[in-house]
Amino acid sequence: MSTTKSKTKLHIVAYPYPTAGHIIPLLDLTHLLLTHGLNVTVLVTPNNVHLLEPYLSTHPSSLKHLVLPAPDITPPPHKRLLVNVRALRDLHYPILLQWFQSHPSPPVAIISDFFLGWTHHLACELKLPRLCFSPSGAFAMSVAFSMCCDPPKNNDPDEDINFLISLPKVPNSPTYPWWQIPPQYRNEFEADPDWEFYRNSMLANFVSWGIVFNSFANLESVYFDHLKREVGHNRVWAVGPVLPLEGDLIGLATRGGASSVPCHELMTWLDAQLDHSVVYVCFGSRVVLTSKQLNVLVTALECSGVHFILCARVPDDQGSTLNRFKDCVGDRGLVIKGGWAPQVAILRHRVVGSFLTHCGWNSVLEGLISGVVMLTWPMGADQFTNALLLVDQLGVAIRAGEGTENIPNSNELARLLVVSLDKIKPQNVRAKELSDVALSAVKGGSSDKDLDELIKQLADIKKLE
């Protein structure tokens, strides 16, 4: 990334949605802003303060944080996101209003997660620009905007789960079976005040002053152009991947948390393998595999003969399945329980050749910049859109499964695991090409230029005060 310093000492607030997958990329962006000479105050809930620690030690004078209380609620599972978003607004809005109004040197802008669209109204009250930070890509954001404007409808959602939803206003007109539509966008909740609040909060993202993406221009150019037309201005910046580069001070081994297998043990095992011979399997820190998914996965890994690292969360009653599996495969694989691994460090190792992933956007970018081919098995949220982008539009991935509806046959999955390590396959060639493009973007290319332009426009606002 460019290290040009901003001449004006700007102070901004960064407000992530309080889950690790949303906090970490916004903290990585915060790190970049701090290296450009800005002051940043990060808003964080008590159980996530630990995620700030490596950044605080790297930027002791320019990075501050404000600890906000976490909502004390137990939402029903089918409405968890809707209720959490509204509870955060009700709890934090008055606290933040008072904090801004009493601060001796208040921030000149707010950058907040796209789940916190209601901060646009806070920014308006404070007469400040609000930037929406999207931890998802431009394609996924285009899909979300379309679904918020025109919520998908299905007259018989319980029976017709394969009812096709088409989004003709989004480039390439993507279609989805009903079961892939995230619950927060379905018309089933139309009379629900929590649903209406969430929808309005998401729509507020598109009338905010600007949108910042953890993505890069050449990855999703058609969707960036589309969003600029939709919002009616060019304050749409692609500054990613906002990942630590080699040698960065933010430690890769402890990034986001501790693994059940220490990083040095993982690296020692990887160092002993042949180049491009290992499949890394991970479904993120939140997905809990069903018993059927787990059984298909471990059978495929066992039958394939490939070397692998498996990182997974499993049902409480399936721990013995993993233990038996570890005994069967011996030294051919490593199993990390709990869903958290030093993923960036693993993917960048020379021996990792492919990545079986749930297609969360952080994982997508980490896979792309590492140059590994991906096997896609999306589980929910924007992951089906991300898989569509990887497989059908970018050609860097191979479709393996889809949620609990399309669980692959274990023999077919075993075949795909082997095929994914074939260096001459088109997906492997394309993955290396896109890795080079991604690295170029953050080493003086389009993402660096967008970041510099973003800071310049914020500095211009500061001058007008």
Question: Within 13 Å of residue 44, how many CA atoms lie on the same side as its CB?
Answer: 21
- Closest by alpha carbon to 213, among 148, 134, 139? 134
**Alpha-carbon separation of residue 442 from 157, 204, 236, 347, 369 (angstroms):** 44, 29, 17, 18, 10
Measured CA to CA, the distance from residue 334 to residue 332 in angstroms comes to: 7
CB 214 within 8 A of CB 134: yes
Q: CA of 398: how far to CAs of 88, 380, 415, 416, in Å? A: 38, 18, 12, 8
Residue by residue, pLDDT tens for the chain (465 residues) are 444 444 448 899 999 999 888 999 999 999 999 999 999 999 999 999 988 888 888 888 899 999 999 998 888 887 889 999 999 999 999 999 999 999 888 899 999 999 999 999 999 999 999 999 999 999 999 999 999 988 888 888 777 889 999 999 999 999 999 999 988 888 766 678 888 899 999 999 999 999 999 999 999 999 999 999 999 999 999 998 998 766 554 455 555 566 667 788 888 889 999 998 999 999 987 788 888 898 899 899 988 999 999 988 877 676 677 778 877 777 888 888 876 788 888 898 999 999 999 999 999 999 999 999 999 999 989 999 999 999 999 999 999 999 989 999 999 999 999 999 987 788 888 999 999 999 999 999 999 999 999 999 998 886 655
Q: CB of 402 within 8 A of CB of 377?
A: yes
Whole-angstrom distance, CA of residue 216 vs CA of residue 225: 12
113 among known catalytic residues: yes
CA 44 to chain centre: 18
Whole-prediction pTM value?
0.91
The whole-angstrom separation of Cα 63 and Cα 292 is 45
Q: Which residue among 22, 92, 226, 358 is the active-site one?
A: 22
Instruction: Pick the catalytic residue from 28, 113, 382, 450.
Output: 113
Radius of gyration in angstroms for the set of CA atoms belonging to the chain, rounded to a whole number: 22
Q: What is the pLDDT of residue 462?
A: 67
Q: What is the pLDDT of residue 364?
A: 95
Show the domains of the chain with their CATH numbers.
Answer: 11-242+444-463 (3.40.50.2000), 263-439 (3.40.50.2000)
11 an active-site residue?
Answer: no
What do you get for the CA distance between the two ends of the chain, in Å?
29
Quickly tell me which residue has 């907040």 as its tokens: 112
